[in-house]
Structure 1
Amino acid sequence: MICALCKEREANKKNTHYLTDSIIRTCLNLDGANEREAGFYFDVSNNTPFVDFNFQRGTSIPKLEESLGRQATEEEIEKAKEIPFSVDYVFCSQCEDIFTSIETPFIETILPQFRQVNLTGTNQIELAQNKIVKLFFYLQVWRTAICEDVYNLSEDTMERLRLTILNSDSIENCDIPNFPYHITYLQTVGDASAYTNNFVGCTSDRNPNIIFMNDFVIQFFEETNLIRTIDFYGLNQTNDLAQFINAGNESVNIKVLPNQRRLDLVGRINREEKVQKSISYFVETFAKQWFMIFGGFPNQYLTQEYLQFISAGGFDILKYTQESIVEKTTEFIDLKLK
């Protein structure tokens, strides 16, 4: 296989993170630890009523099961052998060095301006290092489009990004393509474990193409005339979108979302993307099984009693797999038959 960046050398590199590891690591790891392969993470972007749950090879299994409230499944254990948000044999070693040359200046000079300062009361941060910032976020966008089937860009956009990254060392800032992009920084207050509430992953939306990278959110547009505002659970506001669209060679303006709004955003995504879908699925499963046995559908009071039974008074969808819901539903009906 030929390297996706240079298109010349063999793709011989294993474990290339297509989202920069040092940015996403504290979100993925237990207690927000800044260690490799020692935590778990959740994918809420699928189309099922269940959260895709994954954990990494170095995770403490007792702590994992304490957090989940259940044992990990064999499928989850098998998937733990994979390294999240990384790929094998897509890029070559020389191009990996190019990636590092783009990531390092951002990590060393830009990241501390967000994570190592108190941003309370700050609504935006203006950065003069346009080339460093632009190349870093272009790299995340291009690699994600290469490695994730759901994240799609046009062939022309992909090629322009590829050539920019390939020639990043010599290219002048004025020659870098000016794709409009919007960056939100999610202020994350508390100890290191607070980062584990954030998300890592991408959506299938187009213009904006959205990537969550722990405490950074990228919204990428392929053309200026395609810029549009979507609420996305409170991430965006119509009255300030234009203010934070970066589409030139001047300074970069990054929006800062206060910690409480970050928590509201995370909560809305969880509720609207998963919890409501899960409850609807559970109710439908119960109704079908009840109908098969009794020839009629359960009334609303019985349905509420069923939901109380499977949730034990609380509702944490991470505790449930599809198999366990069928078992709990059968158990509830058996109790009613006695």
Structure 2
Amino acid sequence: MIGIADIEAAAERIAGHVVRTPTVPSPGLSGLLGAPVTAKLELLQRTGSFKARGATAKLLALGEAERAAGVVAVSGGNHGIAVAVMAAALDVKATVVMPRTAPARSVAMAQDAGASVRLTDGMDEAFALMTRLQEEGLTLVHPFDDPVVIAGQGTVGLEFAEDADGPTDVLVSVGGGGLIAGVAAALRARRPGVRIWGVETEGAQAMSEALAAGGPVPVPLSSIVTTLSAPTVSQLTYDHVSELVTEVLVVPDRDAVQGVLDLAEHAKVWTEPAAGCLLPAARQVLDRVGDGARLGLVVCGGNASTTDVLGWSNRFGLRPQPTEGG
């Protein structure tokens, strides 16, 4: 299990390479949901998501031979961007494997940073190619199955614990589980009374399926939310979530896209569905815990183009929702 000392060491290692992102109360979201909301704005992080933290922590921890070999990463979008950009900043050659369903903007950002981008037909194939490239000698920077990466992501929780004003419930999006594992480890150490809730989208339910099965299992992927679409979680992330997280909630793609529109309308931030899914889940949490809840939202990333969001909105026939009672 990742401890608070591991996360504090990661915070010290990556300081100066990443942004300490704002943790702010959101009057707009508080009005929308009918409860106080504090948002951790990781979409303002370098590369547009929290992934820069774990990628940087891992790259800085590599030995000379590992750096010289070059690194390989697999990603539905954000991890690939983060590895590409941070590797270039640290003068390490990077190869990024992505499914063809990854957002075109994400592929372009990784290429523009100088990475060699390899596209596959799906996430299962992407993970398989990543494994082959690792066997051929490249150094793996795994998106979630790595204690150094998890400790890096846990710095989000460390900052949140220091900067947020007493949330009772914190919601964190779940793909492979690296972010929630790190955040949960940090919050359990610093704010032991806080309930931590994971959020997945339907068709990207690797963690909730693992919890139901008693361990990691492969899952079919059909969600539009490629940045949450891990074909399985790892034993490492499963162990953290099963021990530290209250529950993992699952919301439809449609509601995740609605959340993107509502975050733009009410919080004035441009996110992606991996963050938008937090709002419908927050309503579920409020229904469960009742009055007195104070919510914390880890707004994990904002790497969706206007074209993407408008396309999804038209597909589902969506528009921003009015404020609670308004």
* Same fold (TM > 0.5): no
If you compute each CA radius of gyration, which structure gives the higher value, 1 or 2?
1
**TM-score normalised according to structure 1 size:** 0.27
